[in-house]
């Protein structure tokens, strides 16, 4: 497996690990029989963790598709790998700013993550113009 493919897995783990600690830390209030109970997520920190988790789910398909498309279409693997690692780092920082209630920085990081994913997606299109 390539580094980029491991980053696809890491992005799944990141959005899962965003919500699990909140549930474990509040185990007495969390009802596993009603995992989507809106009352549990009304607290500020829990609400932000849920938002970060949901955004991770939303960002995942485009990232995974971009990585697979770039690899299948013969884009330079080293660039796919480097951009994928950068995406995971940016997404981890995004989660921290989301949970930490830093909305402006969070928006900047979201935009950066989207641009990185778009760059991976378009690598096959521009590969002939890259100085490699």
Q: d(Cα 44, Cα 58) in Å, to the nearest integer? A: 21
Q: Going from the N-terminus, what domains does the chain have, and what CATH number goes with each?
A: 3-26+40-129 (1.20.120.550)
User: Can you read off the two tokens belonging to residue 66?
Assistant: 């971009």
Is the pLDDT at 40 greater than 80, yes or no? yes
The answer to whether residue 76 scores a pLDDT higher than 90 is yes
Is residue 48 pLDDT above 90, yes or no? Answer: yes
Q: Please tell me the distance from the alpha carbon of residue 14 to that of residue 18, in angstroms, as a whole number.
A: 6
* pTM of structure: 0.92
Average pLDDT over residues 49-62: 96
71 vs 22, more confident? 71
> Is 131 a residue whose pLDDT tops 80?
no
């Amino acid at each position: 497996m390539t580094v980029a493919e491991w980053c696809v897995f890491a992005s799944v783990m990141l959005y899962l690990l965003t919500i699990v600690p909140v549930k474990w830390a509040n185990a007495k209030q969390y009802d596993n029989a009603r995992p989507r109970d809106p009352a549990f997520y009304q607290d500020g920190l829990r609400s932000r963790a849920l938002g970060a988790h949901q955004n991770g789910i939303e960002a995942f398909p485009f990232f995974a598709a971009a990585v697979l498309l770039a690899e299948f279409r013969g884009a330079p693997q080293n660039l796919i790998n480097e951009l994928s690692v950068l995406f995971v780092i940016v997404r981890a920082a995004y989660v921290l700013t989301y949970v930490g209630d830093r909305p402006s920085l969070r928006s900047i990081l979201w935009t950066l993550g989207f641009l990185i994913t778009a760059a991976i997606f378009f690598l096959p299109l521009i590969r002939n113009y890259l100085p490699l």
